[in-house]
């Protein structure tokens, strides 16, 4: 069998839509790295990733390929595994979001931690945005959910995003991935079973939207 034969059995004629889609993935850490791998293995070929960081030892409990590339720039290391990637090494903050041109992309996948940047993303490109809320501090992947921003709950980080958007008069809808599980610790501990579930769920939602042409 060929590389994509099994995914083609599920997607049928929609598989070609994946090859044509232009996807921008912001952040390739515990959530973003698994989303990237899922997209790539599913046949999405035009992917641009944006991240500023280098890999360190603390990444190795949850980020794909991190144990092979300690002290290397993440986007450059990932291009070794996914040769067709387009990479941008850039810190994603509010100023960058406000200045960047998102028009070339069909989907924007937000796997970053910066609250102000996430709010700016929602305001600028909500129509094609899928955003991940807090995946840290949790142990139960079955509590991961997908819904409109206004229907998300159980996540203090998400609550802050909703508050900031409401303060700005933002009333639009966009897709978010969140967990209803109460945080297990106050510190920013991470369990790959949850962070990876966020990333794989983001990939599944991206494929769904590409198939629907949204």
pLDDT in tens, 52-75: 999 999 988 899 999 999 999 999
Is residue 46 pLDDT above 90, yes or no? yes
Query: pTM for this structure?
Result: 0.96
Separation of alpha carbons 192 and 165, rounded Å: 29
Q: Which domain holds residue 203?
A: 5-212
Separation of alpha carbons 62 and 75, rounded Å: 16
Percent share of the chain, pLDDT over 90: 88
Domain total in the chain:
1
CATH number for the domain spanning 28: value is: 3.40.50.720
């Amino acid at each position: 069998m060929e590389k994509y034969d099994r995914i083609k059995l599920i997607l049928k004629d929609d598989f070609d839509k994946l090859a044509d889609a232009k996807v921008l993935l912001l952040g390739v850490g515990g959530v973003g790295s698994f989303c990237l791998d899922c997209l790539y293995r599913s046949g999405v070929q035009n992917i641009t990733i944006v991240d500023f960081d280098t890999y360190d030892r603390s990444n190795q409990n949850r980020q794909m390929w991190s144990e092979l590339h300690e002290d290397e720039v993440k986007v450059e290391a990932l291009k070794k595994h996914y040769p067709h990637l387009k990479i941008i090494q850039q810190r994603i903050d509010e100023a960058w979001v406000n200045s960047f041109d998102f028009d070339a992309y069909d989907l924007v996948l937000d796997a970053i931690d910066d609250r102000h940047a996430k709010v700016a993303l929602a305001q600028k490109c909500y129509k094609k945005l899928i955003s991940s809320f807090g995946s840290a501090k949790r142990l139960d992947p079955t509590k991961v959910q997908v819904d409109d921003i206004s229907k998300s709950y159980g996540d203090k980080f998400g609550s802050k995003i909703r508050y900031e958007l409401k303060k700005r008069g933002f009333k639009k809808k966009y897709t978010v991935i969140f967990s209803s599980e109460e945080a297990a610790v106050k510190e920013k501990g991470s369990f790959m079973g949850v962070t990876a579930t966020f990333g794989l769920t983001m990939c599944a939602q991206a494929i769904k939207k590409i198939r629907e042409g949204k």
